[in-house]
């Protein structure tokens, strides 16, 4: 049974070992993300969704490491996770595993990575399939979306500045704060691609998984400290 749908961003800078002395710059973001994990700790399973280059599923038995980002910080996606940590594990799974390890070590995390360029219809189909998976019995389960907003919000942003990104980012921010799946589903794939809002596919999956407005919607962090939109919050169905 789906008990909550939460969302966090995907930057590796969440991991303090990767940022060193600069870790304090992201304290508020990191604490908001970890608080989401603590809020989901009562769920037996997290179904995680992110958008990256290629579609894949990462099981709860996997282990990973942030070695590819500079430091060998390992994560587990479930209590039974074993074997050598995979340095090529999807970033979505790495971030979810890092949160799990620190807030809900008894939880199993299954990660579904959708292709960033997946069309809206495919994202909608995946969202409906995930809802059936989440509701297959009475065990409490949570959806966790690991996705960023636009990466072109300032001149120093990773994608440089695109003035169109401000309006789209504002629409995304408003949709998340209002708990509005229809507004999320209305994000234009072509425009999002242009402004490098690579999390668009994951936001479309969230919209389809919920299907209707949640009973409550809470956003605890929403900012663009590096010219990238980062949002943290929870929707309660």
> Does position 21 have pLDDT exceeding 70, yes or no?
no
The three-state secondary structure class of 200 is helix
Could you tell me how far CA 213 lies from the centroid of its own chain? 19
Maximum Cα interatomic distance, the chain, rounded to a whole number of Å = 48
Tokens 């009475």: give the residue: 138
The three-state secondary structure class of 121 is helix
> Does position 23 have pLDDT exceeding 70, yes or no?
no
The three-state secondary structure class of 67 is helix
Beta strands in 78-200 (DSSP E): 108-115, 141-146
Question: Each residue of 72-107: pLDDT tens digit?
Answer: 999 999 999 999 999 999 999 999 999 999 999 999
Question: Each residue of 135-184: pLDDT tens digit?
Answer: 999 999 999 999 999 999 999 999 999 999 999 999 999 999 999 999 99
Q: Which two tokens stand for residue 232?
A: 């943290």
User: Mean of the per-residue pLDDT values for the chain?
Assistant: 96
> Does position 22 have pLDDT exceeding 90, yes or no?
no
- 114, 55 in Cβ contact below 8 A? yes
> Does position 25 have pLDDT exceeding 80, yes or no?
no
Q: What is the pLDDT of residue 118?
A: 98
The CATH code belonging to domain 2-236 is: 3.40.830.10
Tokens 């949709």: give the residue: 175
The three-state secondary structure class of 51 is strand
Alpha-carbon span 107 to 124, nearest angstrom:
26
- 158, 227 in Cβ contact below 8 A? yes
């Amino acid at each position: 049974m789906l008990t909550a749908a939460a969302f966090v961003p995907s930057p590796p800078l969440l991991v303090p070992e990767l940022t060193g002395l600069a870790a304090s710059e992201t304290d508020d973001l990191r604490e908001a993300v970890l608080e989401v994990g603590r809020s989901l700790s009562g769920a037996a399973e997290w179904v995680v969704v992110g958008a990256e280059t290629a579609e894949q599923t990462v099981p709860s038995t996997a282990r990973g490491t942030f070695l590819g980002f500079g430091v060998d910080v390992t994560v587990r996606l479930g209590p039974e996770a074993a074997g050598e940590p995979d340095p090529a594990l999807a970033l979505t799974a790495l971030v979810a595993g890092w949160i799990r390890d620190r807030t809900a070590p008894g939880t199993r995390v299954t990660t579904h990575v959708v292709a960033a360029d997946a069309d809206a219809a495919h994202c909608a189909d995946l969202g409906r399939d995930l809802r059936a998976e989440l509701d297959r019995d009475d065990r409490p389960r949570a959806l966790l979306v690991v996705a960023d907003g636009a990466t072109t919000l300032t001149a120093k942003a990773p994608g440089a500045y695109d003035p169109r990104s401000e309006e789209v980012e504002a629409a995304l921010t408003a949709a998340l704060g209002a708990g509005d799946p229809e507004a999320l589903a209305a994000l234009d794939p072509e425009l999002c691609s242009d402004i490098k809002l690579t999390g668009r596919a994951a936001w479309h999956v969230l919209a389809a998984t919920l299907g209707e407005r949640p009973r409550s919607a809470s956003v605890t962090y929403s900012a663009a400290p590096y010219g990238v939109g980062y949002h943290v919050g929870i929707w309660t169905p």
